Structures are given as C-alpha cells and as structure tokens.
Structure 1
Amino acid sequence: MSGGNAIRGTRVGAGPMGEAERGEAAPRIRVSYWCAKGHETRPSFAADAQLPDTWDCPRCGWPASRNRDEPPAPPKTEPYKTHLAYVRERRTPEEGEAILAEALAKLRAGQLGRF
C-alpha cells in the first residue's frame, strides 16, 4: 500500500505543544481603556510595543481611551442619504431646472436617444 495518508493520526491545527517548541513568550502588559459608557477593556500588549491612544470597546463599539475621566466622544451616526439628497446638496433648484430644460430641449430636437 504505497498511497497512504501522510497526515494520518493528526488533526488540523495540531502543532508542537509547550514553550520548549515555541520559544519564550514575550513579556506582556495589560492596559485599561474606558469608553463613554464606562465600560473597561483590558487588552494585552507586548511590553515594548507602542500603545494606541484609542481602542474600540468590545461591548458597545464606541472608542475608548486610557483616560478614565475624559473618554472620547461617541461617534456621530449620519442618516442614510439617497442619491437625490446628494444631488440636492450639489445643485440649487435653479441649476436643476436649467439642466432639465436643456435635456428636454435636446430630447425634443431629437438629439437624445440616438446611438
């Protein structure tokens, strides 16, 4: 039987166990971050790593900072805008009327719709 399974008897993701095979673990520190709702998050970082100023709170998703007394402000959620709302921001009603009149004139003259 020459076509046997090469990984027989092992499981997916199996690897060497223990620190002897993996090497020494880097020294770690835990840092507290607080969000505006008062949730505390304590992620772990390498001792020599540069710490981020903000961290996303895993409970509410708001930004959190290391300053418990002055957490960052919650993000502002903007309502969904339609395509028409964006067009209205770019054009005044007078500009819209002028563009519509120009397109209607071309359509009536037979210039639009031909390929």
Structure 2
Amino acid sequence: MAGGNAIRGSRVGAGPMGEAERGDSAPRLHVSYFCASGHETRPAFAVDAAIPESWDCPRCGLPANTDAENPPPPPKIVPYKTHLAYVKERRTEAEAKEILEEAVAALRARRAAGEVIY
C-alpha cells in the first residue's frame, strides 16, 4: 500500500468548490448612484432590502444619489475659525477699543504701583 495523505490536494478550511454545493445566491438588484464628480457606483442589494436614498462614492467620497441629472452638491467645508474671529463676531470695533483702553489703563496702574509685570 502506498503511503500518503488522504486529503492531499486540499487545504485546511477549504469549503465547497462550486455553487451547487453552496446553494443558490439570493437574487440581487444593482442600483446606480451618481455623485457631483460624475462617478457612477453600482452596489448590489438584495431584492427585498430597503434601498438607501444616498450612498458615499467610493472614488471621491462625495455623497451620491440615484438621480443622474441632479446629483447632490458637495458638502460645504467650513473653514477653521480663530479665537479672534469668534471675538469679532461678538464685539463691535467700538466695544473692542473700549475694552483695550480699560486693559491698558489697568496695566499702567499696576506698573505705577511698582508691580512686576511679565
């Protein structure tokens, strides 16, 4: 008798080799989504699944919808605001000038009193 391995030619964890052994796949529906960059994405959904209204484009990351003539616009990017920009939203120029004069007067009073200011 020839020595050998009974499972030669197969790897551990190998599953069935064909669809006949796995069973039929579920019926699918391909839906086209269009982004503002002109890309078309066609993900597959089960026929009885709820189809989402929007989908993220895998190429550019922009939102996409099913209307080829009217894709959603790219989201607006809000620039980073500095602390000064927020202060200017809350204060007018006159208020800022008044606050600055009060702060300078307070510093001059502390210096006149001999306090060390760094």
Residues 91, 50 of structure 1: alpha-carbon distance in 2 compared, 3 angstrom cutoff: farther
What SS does structure 1 have at the residue aligned with 2:97?
helix
Residues paired across the two proteins, number: 96
Residues 18-77 of structure 1: CA deviation (Å, up to 9, x unaligned): 59xx99865432211001221101122333332221111111222111011111112223
CA distance in structure 2 between the partners assigned to 1:98 and 1:47 by the alignment = 68
Q: Which one-letter code corresponds to 2:82 in the other structure?
A: T
Indicate the percent of aligned positions where both proteins have the same amino acid. 62
TM-score normalised to structure 2 length:
0.59
Pairwise CA RMSD of aligned residues?
3.2
Residues 35, 107 of structure 1: alpha-carbon distance in 2 compared, 3 angstrom cutoff: same
- Consecutive unaligned residues of structure 1, counting only runs of 5 or more, are 1-13, 111-115
What SS does structure 2 have at the residue aligned with 1:51?
coil
CA distance in structure 1 between the partners assigned to 2:14 and 2:103 by the alignment = 72
Residues 97, 15 of structure 1: alpha-carbon distance in 2 compared, 3 angstrom cutoff: farther
Equivalent position of 2:3 in the other structure: none
